């Protein structure tokens, strides 16, 4: 093997190759002798063998042994134990799956690999969401109160995982790709009701009320997919970190063609020293996981990117004991109402704003009525 190695110029010199081959030889013989013991230990291999060079040399050595075995005049009965010993050394120097995955992530195709993993996660999670909701609503037969609560927990967990998968996909794509190049006509009321319907099982499980406030002029021209993606993420977070009270989804007119969207909760609130890190992706926070907000920060990062792509800015105000309010203002020109009404026009386009955000699957039947609308604006000034 050394003679073959020196025939062509290589970056690794013959001295280093000879040293690694010697270490491999020692490891194979030790593994061969240990195989006769009752309790076979894992071969102890020098760290210099645990490299791409060591793995490549071991593979070449095994090929040389198999091809040149008969030329050496050694009995065939000794071939199998030797190959077993070489396999044990190969397993000992093979990098773990975690190391391999980490190396692949740090490579040039790391983002593509991460997105593929997220896609593989989101597809079965979407099926779980649809099936859990179908069973919970009794569409496949009667369910008990205990079963309904368990199905709600399944739905909540699957929605959380699906949202994380969607955040990863959108983060690797830059986020602003969800904003359609051409704005479309849509119903603001239908959009926020769709968000409310998706998170309904979470609210019911925690005995929370989801309130809605729609604008006076419902038909608008804008980017419903991006808007619903932001509101869904913010509403899910609000419900997750609110133990009692309510969550409000507000679409309030601030001008003839402008609307301020806000998601307000009556939760615990976020300390001021934590607010500055909310929008940092892949942040690391100390303390109990999930105590105040999502640990990775991907969701809020995507929300801010989407808001920026729509020429807006996602802001937050929060106080301990008062709750948290995320809000942003976008330009949405008013469109003349159609004869069939805002809901009919929304359905006729075949575009379901939240479903097309890629977070969940379409509903198979209309959800039961729920949620109350506040009589006025829900914007509140946090206590000083």
Predicted local confidence at residue 79, as pLDDT: 82
Q: Which helix (H) or strand (E) holds 237?
A: helix 224-240
Give 5's Cβ-side CA count (13 Å radius).
Answer: 18
Which residues have CB under 8 Å from 46's CB, separation 6+?
Answer: 23, 26, 27
CA–CA–CA angle 98, 297, 109 (5° rounding): 40
CA–CA–CA angle 200, 206, 207 (5° rounding): 80
Predicted local confidence at residue 332, as pLDDT: 95
What is the DSSP pairing of strand 246-255 with strand 258-265? antiparallel
Closest CA to 261 of 217, 296, 227: 227
Predicted local confidence at residue 285, as pLDDT: 53
Closest CA to 153 of 217, 206, 75, 223: 206
Global confidence as pTM = 0.56
Predicted local confidence at residue 117, as pLDDT: 75
Predicted local confidence at residue 111, as pLDDT: 67
Angstrom distance (rounded) from CA 106 to CA 350: 40
Chunked into runs of 10 residues, the chain (384 residues) has average pLDDT values of: 68 82 89 73 80 84 80 78 87 69 62 73 82 85 86 80 75 58 90 89 88 94 90 90 93 94 93 77 47 54 86 92 94 77 40 38 38 41 43
Predicted local confidence at residue 208, as pLDDT: 93
Predicted local confidence at residue 249, as pLDDT: 96
* CATH class for the region spanning 176-357: alpha beta
Predicted local confidence at residue 104, as pLDDT: 62
Domain residue extents for the chain: 2-94, 176-357
Distances (CA, A) of 275 to 133, 246, 261: 34, 21, 19
């Amino acid at each position: 093997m050394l003679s073959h190695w020196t025939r062509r110029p290589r970056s690794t010199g013959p001295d280093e190759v000879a040293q690694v081959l010697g270490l491999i030889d020692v490891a194979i013989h030790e593994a061969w002798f240990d195989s006769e013991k009752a309790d076979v230990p894992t071969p102890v291999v020098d760290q210099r063998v645990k490299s791409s060079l060591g793995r490549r040399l071991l593979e070449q050595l095994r090929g040389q042994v198999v091809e040149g075995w008969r030329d050496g005049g050694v009995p065939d009965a000794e071939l199998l134990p030797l190959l077993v010993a070489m396999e044990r050394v190969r397993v000992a120097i093979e990098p773990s799956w975690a190391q391999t995955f980490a190396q692949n992530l740090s490579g040039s195709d790391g983002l593509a690999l991460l997105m593929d993993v997220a896609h593989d996660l989101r597809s079965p999670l979407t099926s779980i969401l649809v099936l859990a909701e179908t069973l919970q609503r009794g569409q496949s037969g009667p369910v008990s109160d205990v079963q309904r609560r368990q199905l709600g927990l399944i739905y909540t967990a699957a929605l959380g995982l699906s949202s994380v998968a969607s955040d990863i996909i959108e983060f690797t794509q830059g986020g602003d790709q969800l904003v359609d190049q051409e704005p479309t006509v849509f119903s603001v009321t239908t959009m926020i009701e769709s968000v409310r319907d998706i998170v309904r099982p979470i609210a019911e499980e925690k005995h929370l009320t989801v309130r809605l406030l729609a604008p006076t002029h419902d038909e608008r021209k804008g980017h419903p997919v991006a808007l619903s993606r932001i509101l869904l993420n913010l509403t899910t977070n609000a419900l997750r970190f609110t133990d009692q009270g309510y969550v409000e989804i507000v679409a309030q007119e601030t001008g003839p063609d402008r609307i301020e969207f806000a998601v307000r909760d009556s939760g615990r609130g976020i300390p001021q020293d934590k607010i500055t890190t909310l929008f940092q992706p892949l942040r690391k926070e100390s303390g109990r996981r999930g105590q105040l907000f999502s640990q990775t920060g991907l969701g809020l990062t995507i929300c801010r990117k989407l808001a920026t792509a729509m020429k807006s800015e996602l802001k937050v105000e929060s106080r301990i004991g008062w709750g948290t309010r995320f809000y942003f203002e976008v330009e949405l020109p008013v469109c003349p109402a159609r004869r069939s009404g805002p809901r009919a026009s929304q359905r006729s386009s075949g575009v379901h704003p939240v479903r097309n955000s890629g977070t969940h699957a379409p509903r198979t039947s209309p959800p039961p009525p729920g949620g109350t609308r506040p009589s006025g604006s829900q914007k509140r000034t946090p206590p000083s």
